[in-house]
Structure 1
Amino acid sequence: MLNYDIDVSDVDDDLVLSELAAEGDLLDDLVSAEDDWTRPTPAAGWTIAHQVAHLAAADANLLIAVRTPDQFGPVSKQAEAGGSRYADDVAADAAAQPRAALLEQWRSGRSEVVAALRAVPRDAGFPWFGSAVTPALMAPLRLMETWAHGQDVFDTVGVAHPATTRLRTVALLGVKGVGLSFAAAQLAPPTEQFRVELTGPDGQTWTWGARDAAQQVRGSALDFCLRVTHRRPLSRTELTATGQDAETWLKIARVFL
């Protein structure tokens, strides 16, 4: 199984945890105003209830991993036994409960996650699916997943997902995840450095990598985040690539295992 190996040493932990709480609140406002949680979302077989249930279940698992790491083994074994159906089955089970109960479970869980991640040292490892992770990495990962599954719900109800500077954290995971993307596609890792230039929602340019790198990716931060979270195909973005490895990366880019 692949492991996360993403350098987040330059991440501002307090900022990302605040962003995680804010993104959760944004999605909460949307789903709270939506009466019909049975509406199908872009994820095949998943309704709005499935999306909320998935986030709530992930938060519950994370709290086990952080608070009682010795009890995470059964959770990991259940995931291994479930294989590719694990996420679907867990979401379906949780989505079957009353809407009010699921909403309250998600609300309390995500609040506890922020508090739990604040309470432990940023480099303290704890078990997760496939590898040990740290609060410094988990906070951006939870933000990314909340944003991505939230995008599915925004798409479902036909409301524009407000683009905020929180996209920078999602984009950072995408940029740092080049090696993960190539490994997941069973391709040799690129040997040249990448330059990524993205236009943030505030009009500022976010950059990573040397200006003269042979492999370059440019475009809007929103398009990049939609692509690396697999919420949009490359053809529905205006991202551009220079260099063969950069072109390949945009086709296979991902920020999850």
Structure 2
Amino acid sequence: MAGEYASLLDDLQAEQEQLASDVDGIGRDDWLRPTPARGWDVRDSIAHLADTDEVACDTCTDGPRALNVVRHRYASSEDFTLAGVLRGRRRPGRDVLEWWRESSAREREVLDTIEPATRIPWGLGMSASAFATARLMETWAHGLDVRTALGRPARDTNRLRHVAWISLRALPYAFTVAGRPVPEAPIRAEVTLPDGSAWTFGPPDAPARITGPAAQLCRLFVQRIRRADSTELRAEGDAADAALDVARAFL
């Protein structure tokens, strides 16, 4: 497991550094380009990542901005998120990028000192391994928004297996948020990664099955596309069909 965790942290670094590289050197007007996230521009997206990476560090180390400390200062999770974005709006884009580079590097350093099974009090609580995966997922999702705003192609890599994993692990939560019962039947996913290789999740004999490209599965679960747009995904069985209806990978 230790080797897998080290590899996961390497993938987190690669995802973060790839997005940082893509916005490094863009012009002032580019930082202010609107993204598909309503009301947010490119700078806002990077500021959100920088702020949440700082909160992530303090959550792992019992620091002053640990999530369970700061969230009570705001009326809602939306207000908490907005506060982080507003921190970025007081800075030029290049300074926001430097802020994110520093906070993401610190985040990786902190995660590297923690055993992968250690429980992190984030949301409902999760292992350090799942937490690192969640940070990779969020970086990738906001990277989609940023690259769309800049008119650049998406950067889909085999790191999508991490996004797919946490998406499918989050299904009980997704059903709960949607106000629907969690299916008793296990779900199997068989998806194709960008390099053409197969990635699977769940028992091989599961009566419910999701198949298709990982890129569409992950976009659906981070809610960057609607189910009607995920034309290459196939659901076999009621539980799989319901899973694609409630798809949600984040809090």
| TM-score, with structure 2 as normaliser | 0.92
- Report the 3-state secondary structure (helix = DSSP H, G, I; strand = E; otherwise coil) of the residue aligned with 2:31: coil
The equivalent residue for 1:209 is 202
The equivalent residue for 1:3 is none
Out of 84, 87, 90, the residue aligned to residue 78 of structure 2 is: 84
The equivalent residue for 2:114 is 120
The equivalent residue for 2:24 is 32
How many positions carry a matched residue from both structures?
Answer: 247
Does the CA contact (< 8 Å) of 2:47 and 2:85 recur in 1?
A: yes
Q: Note the alpha carbon deviations across 1:165-219, whole angstroms, 9 max, x for none.
A: 1000000111212211111111111011111110111111111223342211111
Deviation at 1:42, TM superposition (A): 0.2
The 5 A counterparts of 1:170-249 are 170-237=163-230, 238-249=232-243
- Report the 3-state secondary structure (helix = DSSP H, G, I; strand = E; otherwise coil) of the residue aligned with 2:188: strand
Out of 41, 61, 67, the residue aligned to residue 61 of structure 2 is: 67
Out of 131, 134, 137, the residue aligned to residue 144 of structure 1 is: 137
- Report the 3-state secondary structure (helix = DSSP H, G, I; strand = E; otherwise coil) of the residue aligned with 2:179: coil
The equivalent residue for 2:98 is 104
Does the CA contact (< 8 Å) of 2:192 and 2:198 recur in 1?
A: yes
Does the CA contact (< 8 Å) of 1:69 and 1:127 recur in 2?
A: no
| TM-score, with structure 1 as normaliser | 0.90
The equivalent residue for 2:89 is 95
Whole-angstrom distance in 2 between the partners of 1:133 and 1:105: 26
Whole-angstrom distance in 1 between the partners of 2:200 and 2:20: 31
- Report the 3-state secondary structure (helix = DSSP H, G, I; strand = E; otherwise coil) of the residue aligned with 2:189: strand
Identity over aligned residues, as a percent?
32
Unaligned runs of 5+ in 1: 1-8
Q: RMSD of the TM alignment (CA)?
A: 1.9
Higher relative contact order (CA 8 A, sep 6+): 1
Out of 151, 155, 158, the residue aligned to residue 162 of structure 1 is: 155
Deviates more, 1:49-58 or 1:133-142: 133-142
Unaligned runs of 5+ in 2: none
Whole-angstrom distance in 1 between the partners of 2:120 and 2:160: 26
- Report the 3-state secondary structure (helix = DSSP H, G, I; strand = E; otherwise coil) of the residue aligned with 1:12: helix
Whole-angstrom distance in 2 between the partners of 1:232 and 1:10: 34
Deviation at 1:71, TM superposition (A): 5.8
